[in-house]
Structure 1
Amino acid sequence: MKVPKLNNNDDTYVLVEWLVETGTEVKEGDPVAVLETSKSAEEVTADATGVLRQEVALMADCAPGDLLATIGASVPIPAPIDSSVTPESHSGPVITAPARAAMDELGVTEEQVATLGVNVVRRADVERLAAETSTPTAPLSKVQQAVGRAVTLSHATIPAAYAVLDMPLDEELAATRRLTKQVRRPVGLAELFVMAVARLHTEFPLFFATLGDDRTKAVLSETANVGVTFDTGEGLYVPVVHDAGSKSLQQVATRLMEYRVAAMKGDFSAADLADANIAVTLHHDGGITLAIPFIFPGTACALAVTAPQEVLHLDGGEVRSRQVAHIGLAYDHRLINGRDAALFLKAIQRETKALAATE
């Protein structure tokens, strides 16, 4: 039984729990272990029926394709794996699992640990070493490390361009209050823009496509899977409203409400975060007027929604005020050109107006 691939962001996962002991008979589909990714914890199920033997220690790193367990006929039970330490593939001190966790938290490297001169490194040793170091460090969470990998890959592989449209939003903002009462769910700009983007899937298929491996064709998508950014201080997440074009405003509002709660707890499943083919990035905290998102690997563009600002304008010779936001589009120039980006932004404006007019 091999370690499955759970997402595109992580090269390794951490085995945080065995749900069955070595020597236990399991059936295909039974949950047997829990793997922790940078953004979620996922149960792994048995891929066969038989007697299971653990092959990875608790809190050890494992990569997709590694041997996780063997499942077969009843065999003599070997000595249990010592889960108190993480196996090391090189010479040096043995680092216990709590010590390894402290190293991640405090930014202590294995090279620093090796200078301790002890055979077994415990958490207290790591904490003492961190306190003695003269260079202050701030550890990055696993979520932020995953964001860093995605940003690096995006900038290294996607030639991005950017377009922005000044969009008056008075009608939309007024409509959100009415629509919230109608659907009995919070409706704001996020919900309207997710709906508007999803409605354009058929009209603008390249905006939901990926570039083929040979770089000569676009691979089109069947549905609009709209990723939406959430960052409540626990890390940046991009959960996905799958097949958003088939959903009602109430369904989209319900899904985004669930995601807001999950973002506060950092409690997303791998399925929640998978398969986006376009992104809506939210930057509508007060005063944010311009945001240029990176294009998430595997997608062609990202729509940035900023905070509406009160702007004066002439209306029939009279000076009036209105709420205007800079709605931006970062796009992969290998698939999309500037003219199409401008048309897409105008179509977004058309669809948000139509949604605002919905009774």
Structure 2
Amino acid sequence: MSTEVRVPTLGESVTEATVATWFKKPGDNVAVDEMLCELETDKVTVEVPSPVAGKLAEIVAAEGDTVGVDALLAVMGDANAAGPEEVKEKPATSEPKATDTVDVMVPTLGESVTEATVSTWFKKVGDTVVQDEMLCELETDKVSVEVPAPTAGTIVEILAEDGATVNAGGKLAVISGSGVAPAAKADAPAAEAPAKGGKDVEDAPSAKKLMAENALSRDAVTGTGRDGRVMKEDVQKALSAASAPAPAATAPTPRAPVPASDAAREERVKMTRLRQTIARRLKEAQNSAAMLTTYNEVDMGAIMDLRNEYKTVFEKKHGVKLGFMSFFVKACCHALSEVPDVNAEIDGTDVVYKNYVHMGVAVGTPSGLVVPVVRDADQMSFAGIEKKIAELGLRARDGKLSMAEMQGGSFTISNGGVYGSLMSSPILNPPQSGILGMHKIQERPMVVGGQIVARPMMYLALSYDHRIVDGKGAVTFLVRVKEALEDPRRLLMDL
């Protein structure tokens, strides 16, 4: 029984593509969803997976051919069918059958995430594993993903070592049920896959044409395709960089020479993908927003008294401790309803006002700062908020947060007080227009009723985008938060 492999939908207004690379040849056995070939349009590169498990019987569209949407690319046959170049009589062999090995593939990484870095292998070649046992951990821009063993057996090959970058759907390793590594094909070259950036990598046809038209050297282009192959957009970037004057202000400052005695005591460690993303987003916030911070202080006495009075019965009824965060979330939701600009965002020349509050709560993890989102926090009870924050915090520390749980926030709270911070200016989490910084509770002398008394005080800091939030709105927001925290009854009465 044969199955046709056709060109998938290429995107809005895109009607044709060029067959850039075939990863398989007629006669190769392939697993379901294993990548067969790569198509290139004028905008994106599209990978075509196998719709079924079987043998590639025929390639209809060769590399360099132009094909339309739904055009026939290849034909898949039964895995047991003889390929076009197979000999009819095969000598007896003790080699394990193809079905005896199982590929370990990169799992789905999340919406818009196409690649990850192999962070840690928990197993090595030769190790025996049971089904669902953790093999390795992948790291994306935002989350860590654990890869379990799809079957019990022995790891006979690891294709992506620690530190390697892998694409979604790529192959990580091979597990053999018999524990015997499959023998290499006799006619296979010693190095079937050239090293990344090597001269044997076949560049995309459209890229080669564009380089020829512009007399651009292959060495002047950095390939971002599979195995370092040059894509059309890589050539376009190189041409743009060559024509644009390099601004002196953005040139990196050269590192001063380090004495040999100091160099021996230094350690250079590559930034994790998460840390790179944090650095990039924080810098983007500073570059794109007109960021300003306003400060106030709040007497935490009323909140602390209320917690002490009800914490036991609260935990007994709801099964979660009553913390400070639920009070701050509630106070911010209350203030955002009065100053909606702080809960809005700029989109081009439009201001998008949110008629909901998706509250981001910054959480420090061993890998860096992440911001899980409590959705519709304005509709939740104190107990509901505490339970959700506790759940998200635990998942964040274990690296189990999904992409969806960290997207869509409309406002953020960051609690530097848990680390002892007395005062800071938090940086916006774009495209949000406001972030509240909490700090350490510290007793300070305050004048109350004409008397100097020691009160538990906390500094509050609101950083905001001055392009959309005026100074009056920012100060009003912070005052409303202060009033709600110093007299929690206002939250109940919507005052």
Same fold (TM > 0.5): yes
* Alignment-derived partner of residue 343 in structure 1: 476
**How far apart, CA to CA, are the structure 1 residues paired with 2:321 and 2:385?**
10
Aligned match of 1:90: 197
Aligned-residue Cα RMSD (Å) equals 3.6
Name the amino acid aligned to 2:142: K
Aligned to 2:455: 322
Deviation at 1:285, TM superposition (A): 2.7
Instruction: Note the residue ranges of structure 1 that are not aligned, 5 or more in a row.
Output: 17-33, 44-56, 70-78, 95-132
Q: 1:144 aligns with which of 275, 285, 305?
A: 275
Which of 188, 197, 200 lines up with 2:332 in the alignment?
A: 197
1:296 alignment partner, SS class: coil
State the 1:211 CA deviation: 0.5
Instruction: Give me the whole-angstrom Cα distance separating, in 1, the residues matched to 2:449 and 2:292.
Output: 36
CA deviation digits over 1:28-59, x for unaligned, max 9?
xxxxxx9852332569xxxxxxxxxxxxx867
SS at match of 2:408: coil
Spell out, residue by residue over 1:328-348, the C-alpha distance to the aligned partner (whole angstroms, 9 max, x if none).
000001000111111000111
Shift, 1:314, TM fit = 2.5
Q: Normalising by structure 1, what TM-score?
A: 0.66
TM-superposed CA distance for 1:89, in Å, is 4.6
Output the CA distance in 2 between the equivalents of 1:285 and 1:267. 22
Higher relative contact order (Cα pairs below 8 Å, separated by 6+ residues): 1
Q: What does 1:1-359 align with in structure 2 at a 5 Å threshold?
A: 6=110, 12-14=115-117, 36-41=139-144, 61=165, 88-91=195-198, 136-184=267-315, 185-213=320-348, 215=349, 217-285=350-418, 287-355=420-488
**Aligned length in residues:** 274
**Amino acid of the residue matched to residue 396 of structure 2?**
A
Q: What's the TM-score, normalizing by structure 2?
A: 0.49
Change (3 A) 1:256 1:358: same
Please report how far the alpha carbon of residue 13 of structure 1 lies from its aligned counterpart in structure 2 after TM superposition.
3.3
Contact 2:417 2:438 in 1 (8 A): yes
Q: In 2, Cα distance between the equivalents of 1:297 and 1:161?
A: 14
Greater C-alpha Rg:
2
Q: 1:201 to 1:68 in 2, by over 3 A?
A: farther
Residues 197 and 348 of structure 1 are in contact (CA less than 8 Å); yes or no, is this contact kept in structure 2? Answer: yes
Specify whether residues 321 and 40 from structure 1 end up closer, same or farther in structure 2 by C-alpha distance, changes over 3 A only.
Answer: same
Q: Distance in 2 between matches of 1:336 and 1:91?
A: 52
- Answer yes or no: is the 8 Å Cα contact 1:161–1:330 preserved in 2: yes
Whole-angstrom distance in 1 between the partners of 2:192 and 2:393: 37
Q: 1:11 to 1:355 in 2, by over 3 A?
A: farther
Identity among equivalent positions (%) equals: 19
Distance 1:5 1:209, change over 3 A: farther
Query: Aligned partners of 1:293, 1:197: CA distance in 2, in Å?
Result: 16
- What SS does the aligned partner of 1:285 have? helix
Q: Which moved more, 1:307-316 or 1:194-203?
A: 194-203
How far the C-alpha of 1:85 sits from its partner, in A, is 10
Farther off after superposition, 192-201 or 165-174 = 192-201
